[in-house]
Amino acid sequence: NSARYGISWGALGAAEFCWHTARQYTLDRQQFGRPLAATQLIQKKLADMQTEITLALQGCLRLGRMKDEGTAAVEITSIMKRNSCGKSLDIARMARDMLGGNGISDEFGVARHLVNLEV
């Protein structure tokens, strides 16, 4: 049960890495004289990614407090792991798409996290 709880946190760490990478890439990458991050679609994607990460982190934190209190049911840990891994996979896929062809390059690390999350 503790392993599943740890995996929940670890998956969110991968999601945060992917978010930071996508954010920095879209700030640095210029298209038509403007950074990609200046477009509403990219801003929406980044905001959606950050929202999902924040909600999942709050869920993991709450579960940890419930475990400390002895009130966490086994099922909740499984649900949290499923949610964290699923959301993290979605975020990694979105980050890969935002990086375009560089999304599958080893240089940026998003593909590595994506493959690990898919497994």
The CATH number given to whatever domain includes residue 82 is: 1.20.140.10
Residue with tokens 């004289």: 33
100, 26 in Cβ contact below 8 A? no
Tell me the per-residue pLDDT of 28-37, one tens digit each, with 9 for 90 and over: 999 999 999 9
The rounded distance, in Å, linking the Cα atoms of 103 and 116 is 15
Tell me the per-residue pLDDT of 12-65, one tens digit each, with 9 for 90 and over: 999 999 999 999 999 999 999 999 999 999 999 999 999 999 999 999 999 999
Domain range for residue 57?
A: 2-118
- State pTM to two decimals: 0.93
Number of domains making up the chain? 1
